[in-house]
Amino acid sequence: MSSFDIDNPPPRRRTWTMVERGLAAVGISGKMLVIAAPAIWLTVFFLVPLAVVFGISLSVKQFGRPPYSDLITFDEEGTVQLTLHLTNYLRLFTDNLYVAAYLSSIRIAFISTVITLLIGYPMAYAIARAPDRWRSILLMLVILPFWTSFLLRVYALTGFMRPNGVINQLLGVFGIPPVVMMQTDFAVYVGIVYTYLPFMILPLYTNLVKLDGALLEASADLGARPWRTFLSVTMPLSMPGIIAGSMLVFIPAIGEFVIPSLLGGPSTLMIGRVLWDEFFANTNWPRAAAVAVAMLVVVVIPIMLLQKAQDAVVEK
């Protein structure tokens, strides 16, 4: 059996000790090194682009390259002048188009999240209570749609819901007249729920699979009926999974562009489509940047509220 000599550690250990002492000499700890990688990633790929977009939102549209005015200008005497325009943000609150787009996006995202939760919770619960030999297969079936392109999956839904699609042809066999589904809010809800359902199931499954079965047995021994056990034991303990799954569905759904464009109609107004029109159709980069920044604020607020609620649940 080999022994470890404290006075004469192995060369690799001595090298690591010297590195630790060198980092400590300049005030860098191991915790700072662990945080450094995600902090640098967040700064380079989120904060810097966000600062650029925010700067563009404070400019005005002009013809040229780039199609927006400069924030910092220099005159002949070398004086630096900073010009900030808030007209783009004021337009968001005064123009009914943007207000309606934000409210419609929040409504569609919220309803889609609720529907996804109602469908995903029983599925996650069934997978968590399934035998071990079936659990991996069921999880693979949930993750299987991710192996296909997101765009192809949305296009596949059009083949089912168009007037001469699979669903209407099946209804015609029973003599039922065709149902209008394409270019409606119903099609948008179906597309969002179908696309983001795995994002709801996986956090719920991760939480429910850890649920102690003895708690359910104790509730049954005390005379509680199954629905009472679910409301008093299962649902409160699964609340972190519900909040996490709701966040994973609501946040991307509120800014969805592909699904409303392919499945929704002209009356389906979402902020992602408005952002696309401002950027490409109107070539109004400052207005599009303001819409993007405002949308980020709209998304951050529910994240903070849900995170606060999740922390309160965990503390209990």
The predicted structure's pLDDT at residue 215: 76
Asked if residues 273 and 137 have their Cβ atoms less than 8 Å apart, the reply is no
The predicted structure's pLDDT at residue 23: 64
- Residues 87-315, CATH architecture: Orthogonal Bundle (1.10)
Token couple for 133: 């030999």
Which string of b and e fits 244-274 if b means at least 16 CB within 10 Å?
bbbbbbbbbbbbbeebbebbbeeebbbbbbb
CA 213, CA 302: separation in Å to the nearest integer?
Answer: 33
- What are the residues facing 74 on neighbouring strands? 80
The predicted structure's pLDDT at residue 203: 94
The predicted structure's pLDDT at residue 242: 92
Per-residue pLDDT of the chain (316 residues; tens, 9 = 90+): 455 455 555 555 656 666 667 666 766 666 777 787 888 888 888 888 889 999 999 999 988 888 888 888 877 777 888 888 899 999 888 888 899 998 999 999 999 999 999 999 999 999 998 988 899 899 999 998 888 888 889 988 988 898 888 898 988 888 888 888 888 899 999 999 999 999 999 999 999 998 877 777 787 777 778 788 888 888 888 898 998 899 899 988 998 989 998 898 877 888 888 888 888 888 899 999 999 999 888 788 767 776 776 666 556 5
Domain assignments of the chain as residue spans, ordered by start: 11-82, 87-315
Asked if residues 52 and 68 have their Cβ atoms less than 8 Å apart, the reply is no
The predicted structure's pLDDT at residue 304: 77
- Which DSSP string do the residues of 34-75 spell out, in sequence order? HHHHHHHHHIIIIIHHHHHHHHHHTS-B-SSSSSB--SEEE-
The predicted structure's pLDDT at residue 141: 92
- What are the residues facing 80 on neighbouring strands? 74
Token couple for 266: 């002209």
Q: How far is CA 206 from CA 103, 203, 267, in A?
A: 32, 5, 38
The predicted structure's pLDDT at residue 27: 66
Q: Let me know if 13 is exposed, middle or buried by CB neighbors in 10 A (0-12, 13-18, 19+).
A: exposed
The predicted structure's pLDDT at residue 281: 86
Q: How far is CA 47 from CA 192, 215, 271, 275, 289, in A?
A: 28, 45, 22, 20, 14
Position 219: which residue type? S
- What are the residues facing 68 on neighbouring strands? 61
The predicted structure's pLDDT at residue 188: 94
